[in-house]
Homo-oligomer: A and B are copies of this chain.
Amino acid sequence: MTQTIAVIGGTGNEGPGLALRWARSGSYQVIIGSRQLEKAQRVADELNARLGSETIHGMTNPEAAAAADLAVLTVPYNAHAATLESIRAGVHGKILVDVTVPLQPPKVSRVYIPPGGSAAIEAQTLLGEAVRVVAAFQNVSATHLSDPDRPIECDVLVCGDDKEAKIEVIALAEAAGLRGLDAGPLANAVVIEGLTAVLIGINIRYKVKAAGIKITGLEQE
């Protein structure tokens, strides 16, 4: 049976590109979630027009979370806690993939570690043990994601405390055309989140648009 993914806050920078790639893979049903139903439906319509189908639906965030098998959270950090509260009931018993990067504007190229240790740990603390939080996709540039035909030179480092959940998220990365790698426990998410601030700084300093990272040395020598 096809899994249904809800992209919570899916009308922002990162969400539509991921939604498009997942819908296009044919392996997932996709719902775009937003605080405003109209906005979610408009983005879903735009993505369907690009796909030439009607496979993506728009819903409010709580409805999207409730309707899906798995939720992917793509909101700015300042909306993180409030959005999690709004989907708490809907994600009960499910996997939540947290894409959030705790940035502190205006110094977005400086690593910021939030009070809870990392956005992903804060999500796990807020949602409790009934939700398996997995941190992933934070380092993938939205610039490249939005073109579904573009190969992306960036690995997806996947952190979480549940091995089976990580396997599902690694499959999600592959469906989006990316290599997913098990990067250890959820405690390691602080590094993957912070790496995004480092990459933003590299974009600025080296005048590029979409610095990413690849893990080397994986081919056995």
Chain A residues near B (Cβ < 8 Å) = 109-111, 113, 141, 153-154, 157, 181-185, 187-188, 190-192, 194-195, 197-199, 201-202, 205-221
Q: Are B183 and A217 in contact (CB under 8 A)?
A: no
A190-B113, A194-B190, A198-B183 known; A213 and B212 CB under 8 Å? no
Q: Within the assembled complex, what's the spacing in Å between the Cα atoms of A154 and B216?
A: 7
Q: Within the assembled complex, what's the spacing in Å between the Cα atoms of A198 and B157?
A: 9
- Smallest Cβ-Cβ distance to A189: which chain B residue: B111
Can you list 13 residue pairs at the A/B interface with Cβ under 8 Å?
A111-B190, A182-B201, A182-B202, A183-B201, A188-B201, A190-B194, A191-B195, A195-B195, A207-B220, A208-B218, A210-B217, A211-B215, A214-B214
Q: Are B110 and A184 in contact (CB under 8 A)?
A: yes
> Which chain B residues border A192 with CB–CB below 8 Å?
198
Q: Are A153 and B216 in contact (CB under 8 A)?
A: yes
Name the 8 nearest CB pairs between A and B, nearest first: A191-B194, A153-B216, A184-B201, A212-B216, A211-B217, A111-B188, A210-B217, A214-B214
A110-B185, A111-B187, A191-B111 known; A215 and B218 CB under 8 Å? no
> Which chain B residues border A220 with CB–CB below 8 Å?
207-208
> In angstroms, how far is the closest chain B Cβ from the Cβ of A120?
12
> Which chain B residues border A188 with CB–CB below 8 Å?
110-111, 194, 197-198, 201
> In angstroms, how far is the closest chain B Cβ from the Cβ of A133?
16
Known: A181-B206, A188-B197, A211-B216. 9 other contacts (CB 8 A): A113-B113, A153-B216, A154-B216, A188-B198, A191-B194, A191-B197, A194-B194, A209-B217, A213-B213
> In angstroms, how far is the closest chain B Cβ from the Cβ of A208?
6
Residue in A188, A205, A220 with the greatest tally of chain B CB atoms within 10 Å: A188
Q: Within the assembled complex, what's the spacing in Å between the Cα atoms of A141 and B205?
A: 26
Q: Are B210 and A184 in contact (CB under 8 A)?
A: no
Q: Within the assembled complex, what's the spacing in Å between the Cα atoms of A187 and B220?
A: 34
